[in-house]
Structure 1
Amino acid sequence: MTITPLELLFYAGGLFILFLTPGPVWVALLARAMSGGFRSAWPLAFGVVVGDVIWPLVAILGVTWIVDQASWFMDALKWVAVAMFIAMGILLIKNADQELSENSSLTRPGMWAGFIAGLVVILGNPKAVLFYMGVLPGFFDLTKVTYLDIAAICTLSFIIPLFGNLMLAASVDRVRGLLKTPGTVRNMNIIAGWLLVGVGIIIGLS
């Protein structure tokens, strides 16, 4: 492996902060958890895992190919990662009072329906690969990664969100009350926003 345990730890921290940022997966997970509890929500979390492996893999292979054609592209992507994290953080802080919306089409009962809903949510967003193309170069030198490095990156890319999603689903009763409290949602968004800004600054300084 060419990447260090410290780099992997930093990436895991970035993934966890991103998990704390409410988005489409949160909406889908909470919609099912609130309607059918943990039993209804966990299949969705495993559906999301598919995209959490595919998108980073596509991003790594795509970036590696592009860098082979233009060596300066890796340095450019590092600053794209910095800009993305900082912009996401600022937007999250700016819209801290925005409430999560629900989608009734995500609450169909059944294990298979839950899995498909998770798959649709994560694969139905092609912007995810562009996101990873911007983020991954901020953590790793993708021109030097080996198969073991790619396996480690993809493993972290699904283990951290999966763990978080399952914990969120398991805590559905408490989460249901929390997410109905605007003040709690606002505080969570502000904290996550500043953490994202911090990650962007650290990447820029490293």
Structure 2
Amino acid sequence: MTITLPDLLLYCGALLILFLTPGPVWLAIMARALSGGFSAAWPLALGVSIGDMLWPLVAVLGISWILSVFDVFMLGMRWLACGVFLLMGALLIRHSGAKISSDSRLTRPGAWSGFAAGLLAILGNPKAVLFYIGVLPGFFDLRAITWVDVAAIIAVSVTIPLLGNLAIAAFVGKIRGLMTNTDTLKRINIVAGCLLILVGLLIPFI
């Protein structure tokens, strides 16, 4: 292992600052947690973590070449993510008055689609790309690192945002679980749906 512990900790600090900066992922996590509790939000957080695993690897393997090859692919993913969030938000608002326990449409399209939405949100987010492009070369000498170093970088890149996203999901889900009034739940679902639509509208422009 060639990277030092202080360098790795400094990189962890940068990741923490990135996580604490609100963005589409925060909105998506909160919206899913509001609509279906923690069980609806954790798949999205897991999907985001896969993207957080991929981008450091892209930075290590050769940013310019990979991004030039996948430029059109990334553009397609951004628009696909936009459509997914718009659909999820519209469905949630449409069925905002239904009981979550008896109507799975409130958390549609489900765990797998929540996972896919999280993956698309992070892969289609140019801010994530720019962060890893700018941060990794500044903290580590990518020409000298070993695969053990790469594993350590990826591990912290995934762990810090994942724990943060899960904490947000659990907190928002807990608050939602304390609310049993039908009218209150309906308003929560409408707000969650609007947040999802907002994410979909923001993705093409960020």
**Shorter-chain TM-score category?**
0.5 to 0.7
Secondary structure in structure 1 of the residue aligned to 2:37:
helix
Give the superposition deviation at 1:14.
Answer: 1.2
Secondary structure in structure 2 of the residue aligned to 1:57:
helix
1:39 partnered with 2:22: no
2:145 equivalent in structure 1: 145
Secondary structure in structure 2 of the residue aligned to 1:53:
helix
Code of the residue aligned with 1:136 in structure 2: it is: L
2:19 equivalent in structure 1: 19
Secondary structure in structure 1 of the residue aligned to 2:148:
helix
Code of the residue aligned with 1:39 in structure 2: it is: S
- Contact 2:37/2:174, CA 8 A, preserved across alignment: no
Q: CA 1:168–1:133 in structure 2 vs 1: closer, same or farther (change >3 Å)?
A: same
Q: CA 1:147–1:64 in structure 2 vs 1: closer, same or farther (change >3 Å)?
A: farther
Q: CA 1:111–1:174 in structure 2 vs 1: closer, same or farther (change >3 Å)?
A: closer
Q: CA 1:169–1:175 in structure 2 vs 1: closer, same or farther (change >3 Å)?
A: same
CA distance in 2, matches of 1:172, 1:7: 33
Q: CA RMSD in A?
A: 2.5
CA distance in 2, matches of 1:14, 1:60: 17
1:135 equivalent in structure 2: 135
1:115 partnered with 2:115: yes
- Contact 1:40/1:111, CA 8 A, preserved across alignment: yes
Task: After TM superposition, list the pairs within 5 Å mapping 1:152-163 onto structure 2.
Answer: 152-163=152-163
CA distance in 2, matches of 1:162, 1:25: 11
Secondary structure in structure 1 of the residue aligned to 2:3:
coil
2:170 equivalent in structure 1: 170
Percent sequence identity over matched residues?
64
CA distance in 2, matches of 1:141, 1:160: 22
Per the normalisation by structure 2, the TM-score is 0.62
Deviations 1:49-88 (A, max 9, x none): 11101111001211598xxxxxxxxxxxxxxxxxxxxxxx
CA distance in 1, matches of 2:161, 2:16: 7
Secondary structure in structure 2 of the residue aligned to 1:171:
helix
Q: CA 1:137–1:167 in structure 2 vs 1: closer, same or farther (change >3 Å)?
A: same
Q: CA 1:3–1:63 in structure 2 vs 1: closer, same or farther (change >3 Å)?
A: farther
2:88 equivalent in structure 1: 105
CA distance in 2, matches of 1:109, 1:32: 11
> Which structure has the bigger radius of gyration?
2
Task: After TM superposition, list the pairs within 5 Å mapping 1:63-74 onto structure 2.
Answer: none
- Number of positions where the alignment pairs a residue of Structure 1 with one of Structure 2: 141
User: Which consecutive unaligned segments of at least 5 residues does structure 1 have?
Assistant: 66-101, 177-206
1:4 equivalent in structure 2: 4
Per the normalisation by structure 1, the TM-score is 0.62
Code of the residue aligned with 1:58 in structure 2: it is: V
